[in-house]
Chain A
């Protein structure tokens, strides 16, 4: 049971109070719920969501159940923005409650089918319906082109090779270089072989069309289990790495365990964690670390532990970044969500994610019709799943650990990467792209050389470029 705070529960005054504070004139609950106007309903949903989350956090399941019941009267995946959001958030909260009964939870999820084709489709939908990926691709490509000026041999590593459009655009741009196209290699990493096959096919076709020497290397692997050797980075070639929404999952770790271990010196804690992780993931982290030691670059445990960030849980990501650093990339472009969904308590994460996903849902509401099946799919299979992960999961299971740009900057800086400001021309292209979407809500701002894409005022995604700093 994920009980963040041990507490005794005084349920009834709370219940009555929360009811009373909002609806003084109205008597018994259910009948009037249906008559609420959209805005009132929205506010009431927020209120209920917060109340429910409160109950879940304190372990008062009876009250949480009541709140869920009430929300179910109002929420709907087909309704307005707030109704849809409430539907997914309550599903996440319910999932969280259910995890207290692991047997029950597993049984209910055992027959779930996840079709690869559906996942791929949702990814494509996200690419089409929102400008975020497109802007990220434009900026990434422009940064790569600029960094690779004059290079004859270019090697690009894509940490999540799912969308060919990015590299097709790059191939086209490189072929139009004044000094002629370079010899291009792209290494794509993904968990599904079919996706990589499709990508290989599309990219090779495009390169042949433009007569560019090209090679695509697929690697079927989870990122955390990635074997650096497989990347086959050769000496003499200029390396660029593109990471789109991949690094945050590396922040996942067994926080509960770590927190309970010791509240004292983080060094100690890290030592223990390192040991445990070495034991647990011997084929991966262990190998990575060993290899790094062999290569002459030894990330001392101290450097990992002295990180001011959530030091204990960042070992995975730190070692990954160190491994990447060891490849001496000329450029690494990192796109990440720019929200803090990695708070240690449920309520923190709930509040932050309410705002972030409100922005995303609003964005869909403004650009796509309510009846659209595609919209429903994106909301359910993409956002809904992310929300479920943020709210219902803990520890190593909770992969959607989005963090703010400042934290990423710190982390990358600690890993000896130096920031490369995104160029004016890249920004111009990105802005033009956003304007082409003809939607007022999309905003783009530049902060310290990094770009943040916002919906209205809410920052959603950040893009930054880095080089290897010796």
Chain B
């Protein structure tokens, strides 16, 4: 049932438009289409009111043979040629095209009035969709919904790439809007007022360089700003560092007190960041405030560290915070050395009894130790578990089975990177059982020793994988080029690999054992495959 093609009907002549259009519209020239100033339609234009159906319709022109939809009749006609159907291309009307403006059919809308008509058909369509349509397009990463597909696309490109965060919690993807906002932000004003009480003659550019002199007031500042804290992870990707550093320059002049706050927090944050940045690739949790963080380790990290980092971000000028943060974390070579002394200072400072203990020593030092000691692989069952018991688990629903499987796959992938050789042995034996024709040689060699887990590794292995393996086993043990094959087989994959590959990798890691390694080594023409060779490839 094709959508009715309800053609436009002229609602009125041009006269009624002129009430607001008395300012001088630019003269029409025949050579080039001039754009009218927004909100002031051409008084001579023809006002057209389209029905909601027409406005919402996409692909109004449908081919009767194959039901393919087109937005323009011309396209449909050209398509019909392919079906050997009669077609006709309409020429543009030879006379001068009359200028048209469009009104919104929704009576309550501002643009329903012809004096506020929009000049563009696409524009009115998008307007109608946006304001009066249902939001059918949803962003994958956050919960924003859009009625217009182009809006949605534009947003998806931006979503998750936000780089700037104000204290008040607002995120910005554009620097200019971020700066403008900061200038007027209430929260900002509050913080700087509070920071007045701690006189700090600190230059923000010497962020990490002079930690010791500020340890006391720094810590105090941290404490005082800690309570309003728990904002979600404020640390955007380190890649934005250069931008941030420059952002600090044109920032509105921070109060003298402000810059010191960042110092302390930058110290804390910088200790967190290097770890967290390693977390980021594995757990691309979007920076959304309400998103329940799925993985416990980063959650633990976030939960524990956010108090310290957000307290930092609650300090004076964010730009300087970020500047110092990123300067310290990304310019790793130059700024690594200052970290340890900053740490010890911090810890010392934290341990002082005269501090109001908002940040109990345990909670501030633990995140640091957690950050330092954890690695994402063992964190689940290791320290993070204990960490989580101390901080009340975030109020999120139980992890879905799908998420659990993905996590298991990632863990398996990570584990497999270490057990390349074992995976090797397993693949050979299982593939040999699967591909009878291609792996005769391997088959003879491997079956006697036999892997303890010939775990049908046809799992998620693409069919071509076996040919790669065959090559591997038949040919000389040249590991260089084979690296890619191994990756292709899902053995050396990064966390971004396919879930199936990951789970199979998990199996290989489970199934690994000395026997398998020995079997693999023995099977490949003995002696040639020393640990050295294998090591070289991984």
Name A's B-contacting residues (CB within 8 A): 4-11, 13-14, 17-18, 21-25, 37-40, 42-43, 46-47, 50-51, 54, 57-58, 80-82, 85, 145-146, 263, 343-348, 351-352, 354-355, 358-359, 361-362, 365-366, 420-425, 431, 435, 440, 455-456, 458
Considering only CB atoms and an 8 Å cut-off, how many residues of chain B contact the other chain?
A: 63
- B433 proximal to A (CB < 8 A): yes
- Residue pairs across A and B with Cβ atoms less than 8 A apart, 25 shown, are A6-B433, A7-B454, A10-B513, A17-B510, A17-B513, A18-B510, A37-B385, A37-B393, A39-B398, A42-B399, A46-B405, A50-B510, A51-B510, A54-B455, A54-B511, A81-B400, A146-B67, A348-B460, A351-B503, A352-B500, A358-B401, A358-B404, A362-B401, A425-B1, A435-B136
Given A5-B429, A421-B66, also A13-B511 (CB < 8 A):
no
Q: Which of A5, A38, A425, A440 contacts B138 (CB 8 A)?
A: A440
Q: Which 9 A-B pairs have the closest CB atoms?
A: A345-B456, A358-B401, A347-B456, A81-B401, A10-B452, A42-B404, A362-B400, A5-B454, A13-B513
A21 CB contacts on chain B under 8 angstroms: 415, 509-510
B380 CB contacts on chain A under 8 angstroms: 39-40, 43
B511 CB contacts on chain A under 8 angstroms: 14, 54
B406 to chain A minimum Cβ distance, whole angstroms, is 9
What is the CA–CA distance of A126 and B511 in the complex, to the nearest angstrom?
38
What is the CA–CA distance of A4 and B429 in the complex, to the nearest angstrom?
12
What is the CA–CA distance of A6 and B59 in the complex, to the nearest angstrom?
58
A4 CB contacts on chain B under 8 angstroms: 433, 456
A5 CB contacts on chain B under 8 angstroms: 429-430, 433, 454, 456
- In contact, A85 and B500 (Cβ under 8 angstroms): no
- B296 proximal to A (CB < 8 A): yes
B148 to chain A minimum Cβ distance, whole angstroms, is 16
B404 CB contacts on chain A under 8 angstroms: 39, 42-43, 46, 82, 358
Q: Which of A40, A352, A354, A431 contacts B381 (CB 8 A)?
A: A40
Q: Which of B136, B402, B459 contacts A347 (CB 8 A)?
A: B459
- In contact, B456 and A10 (Cβ under 8 angstroms): no
- B528 proximal to A (CB < 8 A): no
A42 CB contacts on chain B under 8 angstroms: 399, 401, 404
A423 CB contacts on chain B under 8 angstroms: 62, 67
- In contact, B402 and A24 (Cβ under 8 angstroms): no
Q: Which of A10, A46, A351 contacts B459 (CB 8 A)?
A: A351
What is the CA–CA distance of A455 and B401 in the complex, to the nearest angstrom?
12
- In contact, B456 and A421 (Cβ under 8 angstroms): no
Supply 9 further A-B pairs (C-beta < 8 A) apart from A13-B452, A14-B511, A354-B405: A13-B515, A17-B513, A46-B404, A58-B452, A81-B401, A85-B401, A359-B401, A423-B62, A424-B58
Given A425-B1, A440-B138, also A38-B455 (CB < 8 A):
no
What is the CA–CA distance of A362 and B401 in the complex, to the nearest angstrom?
6
A-facing mask of B426-456, CB < 8 A → 1, else 0?
0001100110110000000001001111111
Instruction: Report which residue of A7, A145, A431 has the largest number of chain B beta carbons within 10 angstroms of its beta carbon.
Output: A7
A146 CB contacts on chain B under 8 angstroms: 1, 67
B134 CB contacts on chain A under 8 angstroms: 435
- In contact, B452 and A263 (Cβ under 8 angstroms): no
- In contact, B456 and A346 (Cβ under 8 angstroms): yes
A-facing mask of B389-422, CB < 8 A → 1, else 0?
0000100001111101101100100010000000
B75 to chain A minimum Cβ distance, whole angstroms, is 15
- In contact, A365 and B437 (Cβ under 8 angstroms): no
- In contact, A25 and B382 (Cβ under 8 angstroms): yes
- In contact, A24 and B447 (Cβ under 8 angstroms): no
B411 CB contacts on chain A under 8 angstroms: 43
What is the CA–CA distance of A7 and B500 in the complex, to the nearest angstrom?
24
What is the CA–CA distance of A440 and B453 in the complex, to the nearest angstrom?
40
- In contact, A365 and B385 (Cβ under 8 angstroms): no
A354 CB contacts on chain B under 8 angstroms: 405, 503
- In contact, B381 and A50 (Cβ under 8 angstroms): no
Within 8 A of A (CB), among B297-334: none
Q: Which of A54, A359, A422, A435 contacts B510 (CB 8 A)?
A: A54
Given A6-B447, A420-B67, also A347-B62 (CB < 8 A):
no
Within 8 A of A (CB), among B431-489: 433-434, 436-437, 447, 450-460
- B104 proximal to A (CB < 8 A): no
What is the CA–CA distance of A146 and B62 in the complex, to the nearest angstrom?
13
What is the CA–CA distance of A263 and B437 in the complex, to the nearest angstrom?
8
B437 CB contacts on chain A under 8 angstroms: 263
- In contact, B458 and A343 (Cβ under 8 angstroms): yes
- In contact, A8 and B450 (Cβ under 8 angstroms): yes
Chain B, Cβ-Cβ closest to A346:
B456
- B26 proximal to A (CB < 8 A): no
- In contact, B399 and A39 (Cβ under 8 angstroms): yes
A413 to chain B minimum Cβ distance, whole angstroms, is 16
- In contact, B67 and A421 (Cβ under 8 angstroms): yes
Chain A, Cβ-Cβ closest to B432:
A5
- In contact, B415 and A425 (Cβ under 8 angstroms): no
What is the CA–CA distance of A116 and B146 in the complex, to the nearest angstrom?
46
B515 CB contacts on chain A under 8 angstroms: 10, 13
B400 to chain A minimum Cβ distance, whole angstroms, is 4
B452 CB contacts on chain A under 8 angstroms: 7, 9-11, 13-14, 58
What is the CA–CA distance of A40 and B411 in the complex, to the nearest angstrom?
13
A344 CB contacts on chain B under 8 angstroms: 434, 458
B142 to chain A minimum Cβ distance, whole angstroms, is 12
- B262 proximal to A (CB < 8 A): no
Chain A, Cβ-Cβ closest to B500:
A351
- B2 proximal to A (CB < 8 A): yes
What is the CA–CA distance of A347 and B400 in the complex, to the nearest angstrom?
22
Given A50-B503, A420-B67, also A24-B378 (CB < 8 A):
yes
A355 CB contacts on chain B under 8 angstroms: 402, 405, 499-500
A46 CB contacts on chain B under 8 angstroms: 404-405, 408
What is the CA–CA distance of A293 and B65 in the complex, to the nearest angstrom?
32
- B506 proximal to A (CB < 8 A): yes
What is the CA–CA distance of A146 and B456 in the complex, to the nearest angstrom?
47
A352 CB contacts on chain B under 8 angstroms: 500
Chain A, Cβ-Cβ closest to B504:
A351
- In contact, B382 and A24 (Cβ under 8 angstroms): yes
- In contact, B513 and A7 (Cβ under 8 angstroms): no
- B50 proximal to A (CB < 8 A): no
- B507 proximal to A (CB < 8 A): yes
A438 to chain B minimum Cβ distance, whole angstroms, is 13
B401 CB contacts on chain A under 8 angstroms: 42, 81-82, 85, 358-359, 361-362, 365
What is the CA–CA distance of A435 and B134 in the complex, to the nearest angstrom?
10
- B11 proximal to A (CB < 8 A): no
Within 8 A of A (CB), among B35-78: 58-59, 62, 66-69
Q: Which of B1, B68, B460 contacts A351 (CB 8 A)?
A: B460
- In contact, A23 and B381 (Cβ under 8 angstroms): yes
What is the CA–CA distance of A57 and B455 in the complex, to the nearest angstrom?
7
B256 to chain A minimum Cβ distance, whole angstroms, is 47
What is the CA–CA distance of A341 and B453 in the complex, to the nearest angstrom?
22
Chain A, Cβ-Cβ closest to B452:
A10
- In contact, B510 and A347 (Cβ under 8 angstroms): no
B500 CB contacts on chain A under 8 angstroms: 351-352, 355
Chain B, Cβ-Cβ closest to A357:
B401
A211 to chain B minimum Cβ distance, whole angstroms, is 22
Chain A, Cβ-Cβ closest to B1:
A425
What is the CA–CA distance of A458 and B511 in the complex, to the nearest angstrom?
27
